Chain A
Amino acid sequence: MYRHWVVFVFCCFGELCADQNLKPQLAASQLATNNPTLTTIALEKPFCVFDNSLSPNESYIIYLYAMKGSAVAISSLVTDNSSKPLDSTFHQTRGGELGPYKAALFNVPNCASPPKLADVGNVNKAADVLKQYLFRVGDDGTCLYDPNFLGVCNPPLAPDTTYRFKYVLVESTGGIMKDQTLWSDPIKTRRVKLPLKIDTWPGRRSGSMIVITSIQSVLVFLLLAGLLAAVSSAVMRSEDASAETKHVSQSIQQSEPRPQLGSE
């Protein structure tokens, strides 16, 4: 407790206090564009964070603790009374609701030669770069339901929930906590929308449809009118023609008897 106050004072004077001021960060967004997802969050590993606390003859492991943002009110302790880090699991803490759970352990990242992010474009180096640079919380979908699983289980997180993370530096011999970061800022997983809510109404009619329909309707009307006109003009002409032939035959009949009278 006293040690913490001393370091806090140093920090206030802006001196190098990497371990206490740094928090776990999200992986670089140019690299991991799909982050956070519905059930996973990819965090940057703590590069050069604990270097002040490392002594050359000891070996260390880093523990990653995760808890839901709402669990702050219940408990945010990661160590017990004897400075040993807690061994809580996802299942015991109900997914981080009741307090922090241990999500992972890995070796201290190499500060002297960190992975070059540009190397991820090289197919052969990409897997190594990703493994060295970041850690994906929520990656393992099967360990929670596998009774034979013995390692540290890292099950998928809950959607639309804020989580906070903390890195803890632990000595391998003795298992005592040496150093820890602050709790990260709250990071929220995605929320999904229902596809039912997607509006498929196309909006107003397009211009081409209006043009085609209106012009074609007018043309069909003109065609039918033309047909009617042609048929009716033909009918009228045939009536005129039949009236004319009747008139002509009547005048021929009238003119015919006279020459007969003349000849007799």
Chain B
Amino acid sequence: MAKINDGIRILQGLLVFGNVIIGMCGIALTAECIFFVSDPHGLYPLLEATENDDIYAAAWIGIFVGFALFALSILGIVGVIKSNRTLLMVYIILMLITYAFEMASCITAATHQDFLTPNLFLKQMLERYNKSDTDNNNDKWMTEGVTKTWNKLMLQNQCCGVRGPSDWQEYTSAFRVTHNDADFPWPRNCCVMDAQGSPVNLDGCKLGVPGYYNSNGCYDAISGPMNTHAWGVAWFGFAILCWTFCVLLGTMFYWSRIDD
């Protein structure tokens, strides 16, 4: 009898420890997802315009799942210590629902990260940057978002286009409709600017003289934060789920062994 009691005690201790870890990870997941949703790099308008913003949906789910994990871990600790079958069954059912949501969040983030390719942003930039005739309010909103984001990106990161300024020369674009090639081979923000915000040498910029225009592409500045976002949500969530799986199995076993 004493041996069985010891075994149950050890299982209790392990389950409490497991739930503590789940609680802390839940808070960490909430904090991480709030950070990503707050969009510190201002890249959300680009995703919104591609209609491919599901990594943000995954982060939103992550916020609520993290908080639910924290609350349920407290319920689990109470249930294990009190050895209350009802509490533990409620805990198991709610944890399974939370598990399903977190699984959805991970898979969404991992899947939609695959869609973020240079060609996607290139096509969107060419079709939307400085587009003058917008069809409806939604189109206008997205166009303004894309234009402002690209202007900010090009100024802050000293870059031009997705792969380079040659993107503007190789393809026709909405920008090209209103700005002729002789005066604007590429947008003004691709030029090296002085302190007042005007190009240092406009002719040098138009001719492509090295040092007077930004010759590298902006794709690294876009994909870096987005990849961090998607990987952070997908893989941290995956790690939490693996740990939660073990704790849940232990809890189910514990539940089936205690008497009411």
Inter-chain CA distance A203–B118, complex, in Å, is 12
A234 to B258, CA, bound (A): 10
Interface stretch (choices A58-66, A86-94, A222-230, A253-261):
A222-230
Minimum distance in angstroms from A25 CB to a CB of chain B: 15
Q: Number of residue pairs across A and B with beta carbons under 8 Å?
A: 167
Mask: chain A, 37-66; 1 = CB below 8 Å from B; 0 = not? 111101000000000000000000000000
Residues of A in contact (CB 8 Å), total 57
Interface residues in B, total, Cβ within 8 A: 58
Give Cα distance in the complex from A120 to B211, angstroms: 9
Q: Which residues of A sit under 8 angstroms from B107, Cβ to Cβ?
A: 209, 212-213, 216
Task: State A123–B211 Cα separation when bound (angstroms).
Answer: 9
Which residues of B, 194-241, contact A by the 8 Å Cβ criterion? Answer: 200-201, 203-204, 206-213, 215, 231, 234-235, 238, 241
Does B171 contact A34, Cβ atoms closer than 8 Å? no
Knowing A190-B169, A199-B119, A212-B234 are in contact, say whether A219-B208 is a contact too (CB < 8 A).
no
Besides A33-B208, A159-B181, A227-B96, 12 more A-B contacts (Cβ < 8 Å) are A33-B209, A39-B181, A120-B204, A126-B204, A134-B207, A139-B182, A193-B172, A195-B127, A216-B103, A216-B107, A216-B241, A237-B256
Which residues of B are at the interface with A, using a C-beta cutoff of 8 A?
92, 96, 99-100, 103, 106-107, 110-111, 113-117, 119-120, 122-123, 126-127, 165, 169-173, 176, 180-183, 185, 200-201, 203-204, 206-213, 215, 231, 234-235, 238, 241-242, 245, 248-249, 252-253, 255-256
Chain A positions within 8 Å of B, measured between CB atoms, are 27, 30-35, 37-40, 42, 120-121, 123, 126-127, 130-131, 134, 136, 138-141, 156, 159, 190, 192-195, 198-200, 202-203, 205-206, 208-209, 212-213, 215-216, 219-220, 222-224, 226-227, 229-230, 233-234, 237
